[in-house]
């Protein structure tokens, strides 16, 4: 079937510029390219794209008491982490080799190992925090059968090579929506693990809380865990002070309950970690869309 997606010059130009930047950065040694991509994102792209202002708005909404100096620091650090994450993902085998040097830690490691041995399905939940693909890379490199659910991007040119990049870290990958549903279900029923991101605004989600504010949150991770008798395990990769390595954390499985209570536990887990490492979460997201006038 022919591709009927309308051509967008803006998307095409954005993609050409992005590809050129990635190509140039990949010519550099890993230890240089990662901080340099962080600098480019933080100092050049973020101010032009309006990310600085969006970060400030989100912080003002949920953490209004932050000192101005701390707000300025976070406005620089957040896009820096985003830039590092992007070029790490595009670095493929070099990134995986780095991540594999970091051990798995946390109260959920034993439960994860047991599920792997028993071929019990696992839903691995993370957020746009640290490098959100580092825990998946670490588990796949250790022999775990981890697939990932991803949201196709609006820019089809960018989406094509981004999917290729995350495929280089590991497969299978399942696009969110009907097209990937059947393969995802087969993967779970075979005892596979599925990685999901659950910290984005979802228009048809449930009104749960995140940082004390109502935030529409998808219940799909908890619903899948209950339907397929899968463990629901939060996992994160916290970027270390060197900017190049991570602490891979596997938390204890979420206790079974209603999809709402289980998903709220996921929100609470992420919030606890973000409060400890406030500059590693993606404050650029419109997480509280439509909540600007909402009281505390």
Give, for 248, the enclosing helix (H) or strand (E).
Answer: strand 246-250
253 backbone dihedrals φ, ψ, rounded to 5°: -60, 145
Q: For residues 125 and 250, what is the distance between their CA atoms, to the nearest angstrom?
A: 10
Q: Give me the residues of the chain with pLDDT under 50, please.
A: 1-4, 293-296
Give the number of other Cβ atoms within 10 Å of residue 84's Cβ.
24
pTM check: above 0.85: yes
Q: For residues 276 and 190, what is the distance between their CA atoms, to the nearest angstrom?
A: 37
| CB proximity list for 199: less than 8 A, separation 6 or greater | 127, 128, 129, 210, 217, 267, 270, 281, 282, 285, 287
User: DSSP characters for 15-52?
Assistant: HHHHHHHHHHHTTS-HHHHHHHHHHHIIIIIHHHHTHH
What's residue 291's pLDDT? Answer: 58
| CB proximity list for 241: less than 8 A, separation 6 or greater | none
Determine contact, residues 121/193, Cβ cutoff 8 Å: yes
DSSP designation for 279: G
What's residue 296's pLDDT? Answer: 41
Q: For residues 136 and 18, what is the distance between their CA atoms, to the nearest angstrom?
A: 24
What's residue 63's pLDDT? Answer: 97
Q: How far is CA 227 from CA 164, 179, 206, 221, 288, in A?
A: 30, 20, 18, 10, 29
Q: For residues 253 and 249, what is the distance between their CA atoms, to the nearest angstrom?
A: 12
Determine contact, residues 221/263, Cβ cutoff 8 Å: yes
What's residue 51's pLDDT? Answer: 96
DSSP designation for 142: T
Total residue count of the chain as it appears in this document: 296
What's residue 236's pLDDT? Answer: 97
Kindly list the domain boundaries of the chain, sorted by start residue. Answer: 9-280
What's residue 11's pLDDT? Answer: 80
Tens-place pLDDT, residues 240-265: 999 999 999 999 999 999 999 999 99
């Amino acid at each position: 079937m022919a591709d009927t997606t309308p051509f967008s010059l803006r998307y095409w130009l954005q993609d050409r510029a992005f590809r050129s930047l990635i190509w140039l950065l990949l010519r550099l040694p890993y230890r240089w390219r990662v901080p340099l991509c962080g600098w480019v994102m933080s100092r050049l792209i973020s101010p032009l794209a309006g990310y600085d202002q969006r970060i400030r708005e989100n912080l003002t909404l949920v953490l209004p008491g932050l000192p101005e100096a701390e707000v300025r620091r976070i406005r620089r650090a957040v896009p820096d982490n985003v830039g590092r994450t992007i070029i790490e993902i595009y670095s493929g085998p070099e990134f995986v080799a780095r991540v594999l040097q970091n051990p798995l830690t946390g109260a959920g490691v034993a439960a994860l190992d047991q599920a792997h041995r028993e071929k019990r399905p696992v839903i691995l939940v993370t957020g746009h925090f640290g490098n959100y693909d580092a825990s998946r890379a670490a588990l796949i490199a250790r022999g775990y059968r981890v697939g990932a659910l991803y949201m196709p991007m609006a820019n089809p040119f960018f989406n094509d090579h981004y999917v290729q990049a995350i495929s280089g870290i590991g497969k299978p990958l399942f696009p969110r929506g009907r097209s990937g549903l059947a393969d995802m279900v087969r993967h779970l029923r075979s005892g596979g693990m599925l990685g999901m991101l659950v910290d984005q605004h979802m228009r048809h989600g449930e009104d749960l809380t995140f940082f004390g504010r109502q935030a529409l949150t998808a219940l799909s991770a908890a619903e899948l865990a209950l339907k397929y008798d899968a463990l629901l395990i939060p996992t994160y990769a916290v970027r270390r002070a060197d900017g190049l390595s991570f602490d891979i954390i596997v938390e204890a499985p979420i206790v079974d309950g209603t999809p709402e209570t289980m998903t709220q536990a996921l929100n609470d887990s992420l919030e606890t970690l973000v409060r400890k490492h406030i500059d590693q979460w993606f404050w650029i997201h419109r997480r509280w869309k439509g909540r600007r006038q909402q009281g505390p």
